[in-house]
């Protein structure tokens, strides 16, 4: 082991000598070439060397440098280019040691699915899908739903769900008849005209309400002049709705213009960020975020890390961003944001007047959010400690069950049986250590034998890896407590499987779902824990997670086999043509329902082969 550490140290030293003194990006890679950290520098050589020479004393860095196996550097023309590259690499690899942006999950968003043929405007609580523009977060769900109701009365975008509009009936729904939709499902509106509607929705949500109000006023006057009073009343009502919504969304600060005001509060390993967006002088909302892995970072580094991730996916970037007065933003950050926006962006500290007052307000909100989050985190931590302490007492364990592993089996009538192992470390899921098992045993549905196989395969990997095996960190760690989903039979099978291996003392229990009873070895009667106790609730959470994980893998294998059973036996169909068929039709059900002429038109499949496939499918179906 010492030789391995020495080789690693020599390798790192050799790499440090070859790093150029130029601007660029550096990647620290760990075991299996996993990216642990991505950073940028004006001069790569001194910046990277500082990690290994003691020049950077930030907390947690010793854990990083001890795990680095390889250093990779990418030279760029300037620091601004390094910003762009760093942003792309962080998005791609999600390194565990980089500052992470966490949304405040209590706030909903409005999402516009701009990459759909006929985009939707909808309520959501997520903010990560590609091809979607998000607005918010808003103060509460009721506000979002009221906003969507008003928008749909003014802009008749489709309210139906799914990437494609319409229903199977092929006729317009009620929304078309009450002027809430233009029926793109039956071609009553072109894609170009529908896109124009969505463009105006995005303008309004971005704070540009005046053009829409002027348009509605003109239409109302024109309808009144033509004595179409019903249409004039409809436009009037829409105009009132838009005005009311625009007024309710914010206070009027017209002299300020279009800016983002940012407040940052730092505490321990976390930070809270509040963004007050003003559009056309109107404070349109408040955006709340949390940063993780921030220990030892200065304010300017946090500001850069936040801007890199937030503005990289924001629907728009304002021409000016106001930051805390003690911040000293770099010119490279302004250049990066200017390139993202397509025009100049100024990042400057708050100094005086209304902008300074708003920044102080954002700062107060950030400090309150951090205080609330810290208190909530501490309550959860104490609850986890209470649960672990209770399990130790109730189950008579030798030590706190800091690492708990739970095993479950999922199968239906012996079809695609699978097993799962989930891991909780310090009463929190450790998903990197979750493992799936495809059951190898054949010969009927025997839950006990399948449980024994999964447990045996897991603990066979607990010994040090041989030259023929790959080291697996998830299997190498030994649990304090093993939880088996089932009753006495499953518990006995797991114990018998574990006895075949030279293991340290590991406590094993079974949790039976029907009565939520806990079975332990050597005791005929189960242990009944209080249903409201933190200990039982933790066991239930772990068991349910193992069941969810196993069920997902089981469904995946069943679907995979179903696809294979339909497509693999077809004449003249190999992997390439199978992919071509799935791309063209989208699902096995569509393949079965297609007519002969549709098979002749599949790209990548000759017409003759298409006819053979159709004949084979319908021969099989007829048989």
The 10s digit of each residue's pLDDT in 72-113 is 888 887 887 788 788 878 877 888 888 777 655 555 778 899
What percentage of the chain carries pLDDT values higher than 90? 15
Phi, psi (5° rounding) for residue 208? Answer: -95, 85
Query: Domains of the chain by range and CATH?
Result: 2-98 (3.40.1440.10), 259-372 (no CATH), 403-552 (3.30.420.340), 568-622 (1.10.150.20)
User: At 99, is the secondary structure helix, strand, or coil?
Assistant: coil
Residue 466 burial (CB count, 10 A): 8
pLDDT (mean) for 139-154: 76
Dihedral of CA 576/579/581/583: which sign?
negative
Is 395 strand, coil or helix?
coil
Per-residue model confidence as pLDDT tens digits over 385-429 = 999 999 999 998 988 999 999 999 887 656 678 889 999 999 999
89-120 core/surface letters (b: 16 or more CB in 10 A; e: else) = bbeebebebbbbbebbeebbbbbbbeebebbb
Instruction: Please name the helix (run of DSSP H) or strand (run of DSSP E) that holds residue 421, with its range, or none.
Output: strand 415-425
Q: Return the pLDDT at 494.
A: 92
Quote the Cα angle for 562-444-589, to 5°. 10
Q: Which residues pair with 346 in a beta bridge?
A: 320
Q: Is the pLDDT of residue 430 over 50?
A: yes
Record the tokens describing residue 81, joined without a space. Answer: 């280019």
In the predicted model, is pLDDT for residue 563 greater than 60? no
Tell me the pLDDT tens digit for each residue of 246-289.
655 444 344 567 889 999 998 878 888 988 888 766 666 678 88
Q: Tell me how far apart the alpha carbons of residues 264 and 271 are, in angstroms, rounded to a whole number.
A: 7
pLDDT at 24 over 50: yes
Structure tokens at 219: 């239409």
Q: What is the pLDDT of residue 566?
A: 62
Residue 514 gets which letter from DSSP? T
Secondary element (H or E) of residue 365: helix 353-394
Torsion angle, alpha carbons of 588, 590, 593, 594, to 10: -110
Alpha helices, H only, 395-533: 447-460, 473-476, 488-498
pLDDT tens for each residue of 441-486: 765 667 888 899 999 999 988 865 554 556 678 888 899 999 999 8
Pairing type for strands 109-112 and 133-135 reads: antiparallel
Lowest mean pLDDT among 22-36, 49-63, 153-167, 224-238: 49-63
Higher-pLDDT residue of 605, 139:
605
Q: Identify whether the C-beta of residue 37 lies closer than 8 Å to the C-beta of residue 48.
A: no
Residue pair 66/19 in contact (Cβ under 8 Å)? The answer is no
Burial bucket for residue 483 (CB in 10 Å: 0-12, 13-18, 19+):
buried
For 24, the enclosing helix (H) or strand (E) is: strand 24-29
CA-to-CA distance for 241 and 149, rounded, in angstroms?
A: 10
């Amino acid at each position: 082991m010492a030789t391995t550490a020495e080789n690693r140290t020599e390798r790192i030293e050799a790499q440090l000598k070859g790093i150029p003194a130029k601007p660029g990006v550096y990647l620290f890679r760990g075991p299996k070439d996993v990216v642990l950290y991505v950073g940028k520098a004006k001069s790569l050589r001194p910046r990277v060397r500082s990690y290994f020479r003691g020049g950077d004393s930030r907390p947690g860095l010793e854990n990083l440098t001890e795990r680095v196996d390889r250093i990779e550097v990418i030279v760029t023309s300037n620091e601004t280019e390094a910003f762009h590259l760093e942003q792309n690499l962080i998005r791609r690899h999600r390194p565990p040691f980089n500052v992470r942006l966490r949304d405040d999950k209590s706030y909903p968003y409005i999402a516009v699915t701009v990459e759909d043929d006929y985009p939707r405007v909808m309520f959501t609580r997520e903010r990560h899908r590609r091809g979607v523009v998000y607005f918010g977060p808003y103060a509460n769900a009721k506000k979002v739903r009221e906003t969507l109701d008003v928008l749909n009365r003014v802009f008749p975008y489709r309210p139906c769900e799914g990437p494609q509009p319409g229903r199977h009936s092929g006729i317009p729904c009620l929304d078309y008849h009450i002027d809430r939709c233009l029926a793109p499902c039956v071609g009553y509106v072109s894609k170009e005209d529908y896109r124009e509607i969505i463009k105006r929705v995005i303008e309004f949500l971005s704070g540009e309400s005046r053009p829409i109000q002027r348009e509605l006023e003109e239409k109302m006057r024109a309808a009144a002049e033509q004595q179409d009073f019903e249409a004039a009343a409809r436009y009037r009502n829409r105009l009132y709705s838009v005005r009311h919504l625009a007024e309710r969304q914010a206070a009027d600060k017209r002299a300020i213009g279009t800016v983002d005001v940012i407040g940052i509060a730092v505490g321990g390993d976390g930070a809270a960020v509040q963004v007050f967006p003003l559009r056309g002088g109107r404070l349109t909302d408040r955006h709340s975020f949390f940063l993780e892995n921030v220990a030892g970072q200065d304010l300017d580094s946090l500001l850069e890390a936040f801007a890199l991730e937030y503005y990289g996916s924001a629907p728009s970037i304002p021409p000016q961003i106001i930051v805390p007065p003690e911040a000293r933003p770099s010119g490279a950050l302004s250049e990066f944001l200017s390139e993202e926006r397509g025009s100049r962006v100024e990042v400057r500290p708050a100094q005086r007047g209304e902008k300074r007052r708003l920044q102080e307000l954002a700062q107060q909100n950030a400090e309150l959010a951090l205080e609330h989050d810290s208190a909530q985190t501490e309550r959860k931590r104490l609850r986890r400690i209470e649960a672990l302490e209770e399990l130790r007492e109730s189950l008579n364990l030798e030590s706190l069950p800091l690492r708990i592993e739970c095993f479950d089996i999922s199968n239906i009538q012996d079809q695609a049986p699978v097993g799962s192992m989930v891991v909780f470390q310090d009463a929190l899921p450790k998903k990197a250590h979750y493992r799936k098992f495809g059951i190898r045993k054949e010969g009927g549905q025997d839950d006990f034998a399948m449980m024994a196989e999964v447990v045996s395969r897991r603990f066979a990997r607990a010994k040090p890896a041989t030259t023929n095996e790959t080291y697996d960190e998830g299997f190498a760690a030994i649990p304090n407590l093993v939880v088996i989903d089932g009753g006495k039979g499953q518990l006995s099978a797991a114990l018998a499987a574990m006895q075949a291996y030279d293991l340290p003392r590991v406590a094993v229990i079974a949790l039976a779902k029907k009565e939520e009873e806990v079975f332990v070895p050597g005791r005929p009667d189960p242990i009944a824990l209080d249903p409201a106790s933190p200990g039982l609730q933790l066991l239930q959470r772990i068991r349910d997670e193992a069941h969810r994980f196993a069920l997902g893998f089981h469904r995946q294998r069943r679907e995979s086999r179903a696809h294979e059973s339909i497509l693999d036996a077809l004449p003249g169909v190999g992997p390439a043509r199978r992919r071509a068929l799935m791309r063209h039709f989208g699902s096995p059900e569509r393949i079965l329902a297609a007519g002969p002429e549709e098979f002749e038109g599949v790209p990548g499949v000759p017409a003759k082969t298409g006819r053979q496939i159709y004949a084979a499918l319908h021969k099989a179906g007829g048989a």
